[in-house]
A and B are shown apart, each in its own frame.
Chain A
Amino acid sequence: MSTKPIIQTNHLSKIYKTDLLETVALSDITFEINRGEFVAIMGPSGSGKSTLMHILGALDQPTNGEYVLDGEKVEKLTDDELADIRNRKIGFIFQAYNLLPRTTAIRNVILPMIYAGIPKEEREDKAKKYLAMVGLENRNEYTSNQLSGGQQQRVAIARALVMNPSILLADEPTGNIASVQAEEIMTIFQNLNDEGHTIVMITHEPDIARHSTRIIKIKDGKIHEDYINHKQRRIKFKT
């Protein structure tokens, strides 16, 4: 395992221009995230944390500055090149789960592998393995509307993991879920983190953020605080 940081940003800024005004969403963001960290990025709405998450997720590109993800520079890339980076290096977990409607759990988990061109036989096996990992081995053929919010989010986690990405990028992963199920999700995150997965989680809830190992607080488009969470809340039970 290399000791190089998995995420490196160098004076990132993002400026939205309209005819009349310039809005600075992010300015001078410089930080590094090392392999195996579980980072919570916090901030009130409008702080720029979503913009940061879009850039980290290669969904958007910065106006200025440098972003290196697992040794690859993510800048001045075409849409298709960005798609490729998202496919191979990033596992997305969204607040609204974003599973394909009316599609089975296993088909949802298979989807990123289809885009990666992984052979058919391999896809099924892998999808089943990852669904079992999040405790849904008996739900392979359930469609999203037959699953609870927590279960849907677990399908989304399986989908995020299946390409073995460099980072898991979670945007308010528990925002739509009841608190008991939120705990379950956090347990899965901590277990994954223990296995060596790097997790970057955007949240505005301190209750959720305290499960991480490091907290970065964003305010007005700048890094406000960045500290190791020595009081990490460990959840004992396993799913």
Chain B
Amino acid sequence: MEFSEIFLEGLGTLTLNKTRTGLAILGIVIGIGSVIALVSLGQATQQTVQNQIQALGSNLLTISPGAINQGGVRGAAGGRTNLTLDDADAISSSPEITTIKNISPELSRRTQVITGGSNTNTQVVGAVPAYAEVHKVSIASGNFISQKDMDAVTKNAVVGPQVVSDLFGDGANPLGQSIRINKQTFTIVGVTTSKGGTGFLNQDDIIFVPLSTAQKQLFGANYLSSIALEAKSSDIMTDAQNEVGYFLLSRHKLSDPSEADFSIVSQQDIINTASATTGTFTSLLAGIAAISLLVGGIGIMNIMLITVTERTREIGLRKALGAKKKIITTQFLTESVILTFTGGIIGALFGIITSYIISRITGFPFVISGSSILLAFAVSGGIGILFGWYPAHKAANLEPIEALRYE
């Protein structure tokens, strides 16, 4: 008996009782739909976080000072003051360093900022002109910190759009306005474009001042809080990390990397960590959705068992007419796979529509991976076989006499 005939016959049988077929499919629709929608939500979150990290700059390496360790007590990382502008200059001028394109020494602190009647607490970054290049900062109006500002130690400031709306209100033009940072008056010379991001990734709630001004006048510190480096390409991130690491070790007269008084983190490390976190989150969501899929599968098994009981006489007749076990098994398995597969297709559509709606509401990117759809089909087909197996096996092993006698 050709499979196409078994398939058509199964399809015919299933369309006879549309309500029941529909309800049986519904379980799978919800199961597959929620798997696809939730995985898509997870992946959208993952991509959002990655985009935000990417927005910090590309091929980015960040050197931070190490922790202050005294008498075995380990202090907070970044507490040391041993990272200096000389380090940064040495890296940029050394012929040994071949992997770095741009270098941005930085000194940043959270500070209260005041203007007229309003004030805010924000991140104030002492930056050099290269900062914009390294961190992909672009200017909406005015200019970024220039070399002139550096040389003349000017009190010019460049502010993020969040700061503008916090201090001056939405849509205000702050160019030329004065703000007070640490009791010193700065003039706003530029506003950056919005980069989005939230929490510690917020790149809009920030004020840039010349690094020289920050070190000499604002914070009175001759050290740096970090040095950001842009590697020449993403392929050589590890090489760049090693090159700069060993260069700094020798500059700091240290021989063993375990004694390093600084740390170098590549942007990729951060992305990997964030990806691992959001990946776990995605798996968790998928796991929850899988439970509904399992329940849907049990629903299919239930319906198929009822079908087998109802059609006992039919099975007996088919066997009397010469149907072999394999044919009966195939017949019932085909029916259950048709059920689950149809459910899978409808569920996939349902899931895609749901995640599209979610993306429209939340502003997350709309991410549907082909693999999750393929997986949904494979899983729904697999569920048909898995949960259809027992009813089909039961049908195939009915004794024809018993089955024919069944009323």
Contact = CB atoms under 8 A, between A and B. Distances in A.
Interface of A: 54, 57, 59-60, 79-80, 83-84, 86-88, 92, 94, 98, 100-102, 111-112, 114-117, 159, 163
Given A114-B1, A117-B1, A54 B321 contact: no
B313 A98 contact: yes
B264 interface: no
A115 B1 contact: yes
B4 to A, nearest CB: 10
A115 B404 contact: no
A94 B322 contact: no
Given A80-B324, A86-B319, A100-B317, 13 more contacts: A79-B324, A83-B319, A83-B323, A83-B324, A86-B321, A94-B317, A98-B313, A98-B317, A114-B5, A115-B1, A115-B323, A116-B322, A159-B321
Binding site of A, secondary structure by majority: helix, strand, loop or mixed? Answer: helix
B270 interface: no
A79 B319 CA distance: 9
B322 A100 contact: no
Interface of B: 1, 5, 16, 313-314, 317-327, 400-401, 404
Given A59-B401, A60-B401, A80-B325, A111 B318 contact: yes
Closest 4 CB pairs of A and B: A87-B322, A115-B322, A80-B324, A112-B321
Contacts of B400: 59
Contacts of A87: 321-322
B325 A92 contact: no
Among B317, B322, B324, B325, the one with the most A-chain Cβ atoms within 10 Å of its Cβ is: B322
A59 B322 contact: no
A83 B322 contact: yes
B324 A57 contact: no
Contacts of A92: 320-321
Contacts of B322: 83-84, 86-88, 112, 115-116, 163
Nearest to B322: A87
Contacts of B318: 111, 115
Contacts of A102: 16
Contacts of B324: 79-80, 83-84, 115
A173 B323 CA distance: 22
A59 B5 contact: no
Contact of A98 (B16, B326, B404): B404
Most central of B313, B323, B325, B327 by chain A CB within 10 Å: B323
11 contacts: A57-B320, A59-B320, A60-B401, A83-B323, A94-B317, A98-B313, A112-B322, A115-B321, A115-B323, A115-B327, A163-B322
A100 B320 contact: no
A117 B323 CA distance: 11
A162 B364 CA distance: 65
A92 B317 CA distance: 9
A23 B313 CA distance: 26
A239 B324 CA distance: 35
